[in-house]
């Protein structure tokens, strides 16, 4: 018997980037061992902001529409599932088309996996892993009434605008009371803000200048202060 | 009567004319091949007529579904690209195209190594079922269609059977010989492959909590039950004639026939359609091989390559066909699918920050 599904809410402003959700996500039985939630640093040069991203379970899922193998299915609860294993051919169309950058394609397994809102747990009446472990309530699973009572200064919306494309989702996102839809105006957003790569390049130059990084080998020098950083920035160094 | 007319009208609306045409042609071609191959039904085994009609129905359904599937914009795109790249002169240099095909067929169709990476137990189960089914199909269909039949050969000094293929005698088998044993027990060998395979799959579906959570009866369990029913009732026939002097044989033969007919009829509708769908994934191998040495599309956010340029371009066309509009404000702007998945997530974070005016309350 499938338990009734509740609503999922994301409150981006509450994310502290602790990655507890990432660790919890990997416990989900439908994709054991590999986390499907993404936590990205947005502009590490200027802000500590992090953004958790899980499947928004679009009402008309772009991933399913662009799947040539017809492998991505939405169930009667509005949950969009990982690719059907006999069909998925790991072409990566879903990965490239998802407006939220969610699906993960494993080329070796020839299979796309994504957040299915912890179907093993939610179908049994439990909360998804990420919502269970999130210490700040950035990820919340419950009823609309609960959410409205808990966060009277924000409101949940499920409409996103990517340029001219309107996307309605099953998952809600918490916004200020006067906002009606999440607008992602990327041509504007691309202007002037440093990306992680620009930032990493700057860091690298600075470390080289200050003698933390050997300019020849690009290896960190002994007694440096960057050795234990396993940050997103460091990945680019 | 009125209701029936309405239903037919509604069906006509729902059915795809082009696919109906292809399915009809395919069914007629198969019927013609049966008539010609069995020498105007001279060699046709009328006891197998039920199997034959079920096969014709399956052929119709499979081609219809395949054709509808191919009409989906992304499928059509990859289908055309696959063929185009397969014959592209660039990939024929040093005979690269046939080498790509040979590797893809070996890995994806024969060995199915991707299932091994999903789980070795799963691979074993699937491999046993796949080999068993291919073996059984290779024996059953030629017999059903009257393309292969056996006739009594000599009686002295040893009894022999003569194998006729399309009406021509091709081989005389000593009934007591090893070759005849293998030929006449092929379906039993197939059962001994399919049954353990089905058991492994069923066991996995019982103990794997992830699989148990998302499986559906019609989609995941029914095909296993059907395969088991076919293999098990087939084995009962063998037990009957080998050990029980044909006890209850005709009833068992009926039972077996119904399980096979049921499976054939189910073929176009359920999970087993992947047998026919899967080979199309060879086109993806060409797509990947053709783009492996090309400059990838660069993400404007992470400034890194993230996908074949051909794919982001194709995807733009497919999205437009599907009436999605993820284009930028001007032509100079990248489309949303020309930003890498990570870049998109970062930009969503920026959009949120902008909406909150850079302050969180």
| B346/A175 CB distance under 8 A | no
Residue A93 lies in a domain: yes
What's the whole-number average pLDDT of chain B?
93
> Where do the domains of chain B lie?
2-283, 295-355
CA-CA distance, B344 to B231, in Å (whole number)? 50
The top-scoring range by mean pLDDT among A28-37, A140-149, B286-295 is A140-149
Q: pLDDT tens across B34-86, in order?
A: 999 999 999 999 989 999 999 999 999 999 999 999 999 999 999 999 999 99
Q: What is the pLDDT of residue A198?
A: 67
CA-CA distance, B112 to B104, in Å (whole number)? 10
Q: What is the pLDDT of residue B293?
A: 87
How far apart are the CA of A125 and the nearest CA of chain B, in angstroms? 12
Which of A47, A86, A124 minimises the CB distance to B353?
A: A47
Cα B80 versus chain centre, distance: 19
Mutation to test the B interface, candidates A75, A97, A102, most B Cβ within 10 Å: A97
| A189/B319 CB distance under 8 A | no
Q: What is the pLDDT of residue B189?
A: 97
Q: pLDDT tens across A213-236, in order?
A: 666 666 665 544 444 444 444 444
Q: What is the pLDDT of residue B264?
A: 96
Number of domains in chain A: 2
Residues A177 and A208 in one domain: no
Residue at which a domain ends, from A151, A166, A187 = A187
Residues A135 and A228 in one domain: no
Instruction: Fill in the DSSP letter of residue B295.
Output: P
CA-CA distance, A100 to B227, in Å (whole number)? 40
| A68/B274 CB distance under 8 A | no
- In the predicted structure, residue B30 carries a pLDDT above the cut 90: yes
| A66/B350 CB distance under 8 A | no
Q: A–B: how many Cβ contacts below 8 A?
A: 200
Closest CA to B275 of B264, B285, B260, B284: B264
How far apart are the CA of A154 and the nearest CA of chain B, in angstroms? 9
Which of B74, B271, B333 minimises the CB distance to A66?
A: B74
Residues A181 and A200 in one domain: no
Residue A1 lies in a domain: no
Q: What is the pLDDT of residue A13?
A: 93
| A163/B325 CB distance under 8 A | yes
Residues A52 and A158 in one domain: yes
* B131 Rama class: left (phi>0) / alpha (psi -120 to 50) / beta: alpha
Q: What is the pLDDT of residue A193?
A: 58
Q: What is the mean pLDDT of residues A18-44?
A: 91
Residue A2 lies in a domain: no
Which of B274, B325, B345 minimises the CB distance to A87?
A: B274
Residue A51 lies in a domain: yes
Residues A217 and A125 in one domain: no
Q: What is the mean pLDDT of residues A15-37?
A: 93
CA-CA distance, A24 to A34, in Å (whole number)? 10
Answer whether B302's CB lies under 8 Å from B348's CB.
no
- In the predicted structure, residue B281 carries a pLDDT above the cut 50: yes
Whole-number Cα distances in Å, A43 to A20, A124, A192, B298, B358: 21, 38, 12, 19, 12
| B336/A186 CB distance under 8 A | yes
* Chain A CB contacts of B350 below 8 Å: 42-43, 189, 193
Residues A167 and A223 in one domain: no
Residues A225 and A176 in one domain: no
| A108/B117 CB distance under 8 A | yes
> Which residue of chain A comes nearest to B334, CA vs CA?
A187
- In the predicted structure, residue A210 carries a pLDDT above the cut 60: yes
Range of the domain at A38: 7-187
Closest CA to B318 of A121, A97, A133: A97
| A184/B348 CB distance under 8 A | yes
Residue A23 lies in a domain: yes
How far apart are the CA of B99 and the nearest CA of chain A, in angstroms? 20
> Which residue of chain A comes nearest to B116, CA vs CA?
A109
Q: pLDDT tens across A40-80, in order?
A: 998 777 788 999 999 999 999 999 999 999 999 999 999 99
| A195/B301 CB distance under 8 A | yes
Answer whether B324's CB lies under 8 Å from A102's CB.
no
* Chain A CB contacts of B312 below 8 Å: 96
Structure confidence at residue B94 as a pLDDT band (50, 70, 90): confident
| A81/B214 CB distance under 8 A | yes
* Chain A CB contacts of B201 below 8 Å: none
Write the DSSP string, A122-164.
Answer: HTTTPPPHHHHH-SSSSEEEE-HHHHHHH-TTEEEEEEEEETT
Q: From the CB of residue B244, how many other CB atoms can be counted at a distance below 10 Å?
A: 12
CATH number at residue A49: 3.30.70.20
How far apart are the CA of A215 and the nearest CA of chain B, in angstroms? 22
Which of A103, A123, A175 minimises the CB distance to B213?
A: A123
Q: What is the mean pLDDT of residues B152-161?
A: 89
Structure confidence at residue B361 as a pLDDT band (50, 70, 90): low
Residue A218 lies in a domain: yes
A58-62, A80-84, B152-156, B255-259: range with lowest mean pLDDT: B152-156
Closest CA to A30 of B208, B244, B267, B304: B208
Q: What is the pLDDT of residue B114?
A: 95
| A189/B354 CB distance under 8 A | yes
> Which residue of chain B comes nearest to A95, CA vs CA?
B341
> Which residue of chain A comes nearest to B324, CA vs CA?
A165
Which of B301, B304, B348 minimises the CB distance to A100?
A: B348
* B126 Cβ contact partners less than 8 Å away, ≥ 6 residues apart: B112, B115, B197, B201
Residues A79 and A97 in one domain: yes
Q: Which long-range contacts (CB under 8 A, 24 or more apart) does B202-211 make?
A: B204/B119, B204/B121, B204/B122, B204/B125, B208/A29, B209/A29, B209/A120, B210/A28, B210/A29, B210/A30, B210/A31, B210/A32, B210/A120
* Chain A CB contacts of B341 below 8 Å: 95-96, 98, 101-103
- In the predicted structure, residue A195 carries a pLDDT above the cut 70: no
Roughly how many angstroms between the first and final C-alpha of chain A, as a whole number? 51
Residues A13 and A121 in one domain: yes
Which of A30, A38, A51 minimises the CB distance to B210?
A: A30
How far apart are the CA of B177 and the nearest CA of chain A, in angstroms? 40
Task: Please state whether the peptide bond connecting residue B157 to the residue before it is cis, i.e. omega within 30 degrees of 0.
Answer: yes
How far apart are the CA of B351 and the nearest CA of chain A, in angstroms? 5
* Chain B CB contacts of A68 below 8 Å: 72, 74-75, 77-79
Q: What is the pLDDT of residue B162?
A: 93
- In the predicted structure, residue B158 carries a pLDDT above the cut 80: yes
Residues A79 and A181 in one domain: yes
- In the predicted structure, residue A160 carries a pLDDT above the cut 50: yes
Residues A98 and A204 in one domain: no
How far apart are the CA of A79 and the nearest CA of chain B, in angstroms? 11
Structure confidence at residue B245 as a pLDDT band (50, 70, 90): very high
Whole-number Cα distances in Å, B66 to A69, B43, B55: 11, 31, 16
Q: What is the pLDDT of residue A48?
A: 87
Mutation to test the B interface, candidates A79, A80, A89, most B Cβ within 10 Å: A89
Residues A123 and A230 in one domain: no
């Amino acid at each position: 018997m499938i338990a009734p599904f509740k609503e999922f809410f994301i409150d981006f402003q509450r994310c502290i980037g602790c990655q507890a959700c990432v660790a919890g996500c990997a416990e989900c039985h439908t994709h054991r061992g590999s986390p499907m939630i993404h936590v990205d640093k947005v502009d590490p040069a200027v802000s500590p902001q992090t953004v958790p991203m899980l499947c928004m379970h679009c009402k008309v899922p772009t991933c399913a529409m662009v799947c040539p193998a017809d492998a991505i299915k939405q169930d009667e609860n509005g949950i969009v599932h990982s690719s059907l294993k006999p069909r998925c051919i790991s072409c990566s169309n879903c990965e490239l088309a998802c407006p939220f950058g969610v699906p993960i394609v494993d080329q070796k397994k020839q299979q796309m996996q994504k957040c299915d809102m912890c179907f093993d747990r939610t179908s049994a009446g439990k909360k998804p892993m990420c919502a269970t472990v999130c210490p700040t309530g950035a990820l919340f699973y419950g009823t609309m009434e609960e959410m409205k009572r808990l966060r009277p200064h924000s409101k949940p919306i499920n409409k996103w605008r990517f340029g001219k494309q309107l996307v309605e989702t099953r998952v809600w996102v918490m916004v200020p009371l006067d906002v009606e839809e999440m607008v992602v105006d990327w041509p504007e957003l691309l202007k002037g803000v440093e990306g992680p790569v620009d930032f990493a390049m700057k860091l690298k130059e600075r470390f080289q200048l200050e003698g933390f990084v050997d300019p020849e080998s690009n290896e960190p020098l002994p007694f440096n202060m960057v050795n234990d950083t396993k940050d997103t920035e460091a990945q680019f160094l | 009567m009125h209701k029936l007319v309405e239903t037919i009208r509604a069906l006509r609306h729902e059915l795809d004319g082009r696919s109906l045409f292809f399915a009809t042609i395919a069914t007629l071609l198969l019927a013609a091949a049966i008539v010609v191959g069995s020498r105007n039904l001279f060699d046709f085994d009328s006891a197998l007529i039920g199997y034959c009609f079920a096969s014709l129905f399956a052929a119709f359904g499979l081609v219809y579904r395949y054709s509808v599937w191919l009409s989906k914009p992304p499928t059509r795109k990859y289908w055309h690209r696959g063929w185009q790249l397969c014959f592209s002169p660039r990939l024929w240099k040093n005979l690269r195209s046939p080498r790509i095909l040979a590797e893809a067929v070996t890995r994806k169709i024969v060995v199915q190594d991707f299932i091994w990476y999903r789980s070795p137990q799963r691979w074993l189960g699937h491999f046993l079922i796949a080999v068993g089914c291919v073996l059984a199909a290779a024996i059953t269909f030629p017999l059903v269609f009257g393309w292969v039949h056996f006739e009594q050969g000599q009686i002295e000094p040893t009894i022999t059977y003569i194998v006729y293929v399309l009406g021509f005698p091709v081989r005389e088998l000593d009934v007591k010989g090893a070759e005849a044993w293998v030929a006449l027990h092929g379906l039993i060998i197939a059962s001994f492959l399919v049954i353990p395979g089905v058991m492994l799959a069923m066991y996995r579906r019982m103990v794997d909590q992830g699989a148990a959570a998302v499986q559906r009866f019609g989609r995941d369990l029914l095909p296993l039950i059907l395969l088991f029913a076919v293999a098990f009732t087939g084995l009962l026939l063998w037990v009957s004639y080998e050990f029980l002097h044909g006890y209850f044989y005709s009833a068992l033969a009926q039972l077996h026939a119904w399980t096979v007919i049921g499976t054939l009829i189910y073929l176009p509708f359920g999970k087993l359609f992947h047998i026919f769908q899967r080979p199309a994934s060879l086109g993806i191998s060409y797509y990947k091989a053709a783009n492996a040495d090309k400059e990838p599309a660069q993400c404007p956010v992470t400034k890194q390559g993230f996908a074949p340029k051909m794919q982001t371009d194709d995807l733009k066309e497919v999205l437009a066909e599907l009436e999605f509009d993820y284009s930028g404000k001007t032509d100079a702007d990248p489309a949303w699918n020309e930003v890498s998945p990570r870049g998109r997530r970062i930009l969503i974070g920026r959009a949120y920050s902008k909406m909150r005016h850079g302050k969180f309350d």
